[in-house]
Amino acid sequence: MSSILYVGSGDDEIVEHADWVEASSLFKADGNVSQEDLARAIALDRSLSQSRARELAQDAFDELADRIESCGENSHPRVSCYPFELVDGNTMLQKKSTDASAPDAGLLYLFLLALTRSDMSSKARKRAKLDPTKIFERLCADVLKEFWGGESAHSDCIVFGTAKLSVKSKGKAKPKGARSNVFSHHVNHLCSVLQEGIGWRTNARSPGAGDGKLDVVVYRRFRDRRSGSLVGFAQCKTGIHWREHLPKLQPRGFCGNYMVSPLLVDPMRIYMVPHRIVANRWDEDTRAGGLLFDRCRIAHYGNSIKSETLADCRKWLDDVIAKAKTSP
């Protein structure tokens, strides 16, 4: 098997144990993993007594029940639903059978689970020639747009990373400073869409190869074209060190650094991760990162993700699972 089946320990051990149960079910012929299976895995991995391992396994299965509640039922089960169910008195997790009429049911959740459990280093994360961090940003934009009220003449979402806008040079090398030009273009475009901020501040120092920690902007403005829109600035983070980046995006500082005139109403900070955030760290992480979207919140609002993004989710996920099955 692969590293996506590590058992886990530490501050987030409850969610890591629950993740292990979900991931393990993908490699079982019957799609079933029991609470006792988890207890044995924990005891073996950490040299714990069976009684202590069973206590931890019970905590994990309580977490799985909470995931079912948090993801909820919605009107588009083809994509955005929880792909497992608890059976046998909530002591066994079972992968739901595939419905021919909805072959991608649960795809979003499974992609996020694999994203959480996989190596996100720059050399290891690409599969099927796809970078999952870029897929994640795109699906986060669609999730935020749905949460913010949908796309309209006055509301939408913008993927802001500098890699999203190509500087065309007809086969020639990009000119010096092209990436900074891309960033300033994004700022100008954002100000134009919001109809405030004026644009790129003259002599502002570009963040270089970065994007100023801003990955996605979601907005809802008024028909009167006056300043003061409802705007969210989101950072999308993968990898095991995501918690270290919680406080890094500061919308007021971003606007002051890069816009001629800061937005009249400070944008809301949003932090999006493919991980399931453990309950006892939720308040702390929210204070640090702003409005949190973890795996279950993203799945619940994932009904309007673009078909091409979902296709990329499927390609990457299938490759991860196929390689995991052949790994020693």
What is 232-267 written as a DSSP string? EEEEE--STTGGGGTT---HHHHHHHHBSS--SSPP
Distance between CA atoms of 88 and 37, rounded to whole angstroms?
14
Q: How many domains does the chain have?
A: 2
- By the 10 Å C-beta count (0-12 exposed, 13-18 middle, 19+ buried), 155 is classed as middle
Q: Which helix (H) or strand (E) holds 217?
A: strand 216-220
Same domain assignment for residues 100 and 169: no
Of the three residues 105, 123, 154, the one that is the final residue of a domain is: 105
Same domain assignment for residues 201 and 258: yes
Residue 119 domain-assigned (yes or no): no
Residue 113 domain-assigned (yes or no): no
- What per-residue confidence (pLDDT) applies to 179? 53
Residue 322 domain-assigned (yes or no): no
- Domain extent, residue 88, equals 3-105
Spell out the residues 6+ positions from residue 186 whose beta carbon is closer than 8 angstroms to its own.
Answer: 158, 160, 162, 165, 211
Residue 61 domain-assigned (yes or no): yes
Whether the CA torsion 167, 207, 147, 99 is positive or negative: it is positive
Same domain assignment for residues 170 and 296: yes
Same domain assignment for residues 95 and 194: no
Residues of the chain with pLDDT under 50: 1-2, 162-178
Same domain assignment for residues 176 and 140: yes
- What per-residue confidence (pLDDT) applies to 178? 47
pTM of the full predicted structure?
0.91
- What per-residue confidence (pLDDT) applies to 10? 75
Residue 124 domain-assigned (yes or no): no
- What per-residue confidence (pLDDT) applies to 170? 40
- What per-residue confidence (pLDDT) applies to 163? 47
Same domain assignment for residues 176 and 267: yes
Same domain assignment for residues 212 and 300: yes
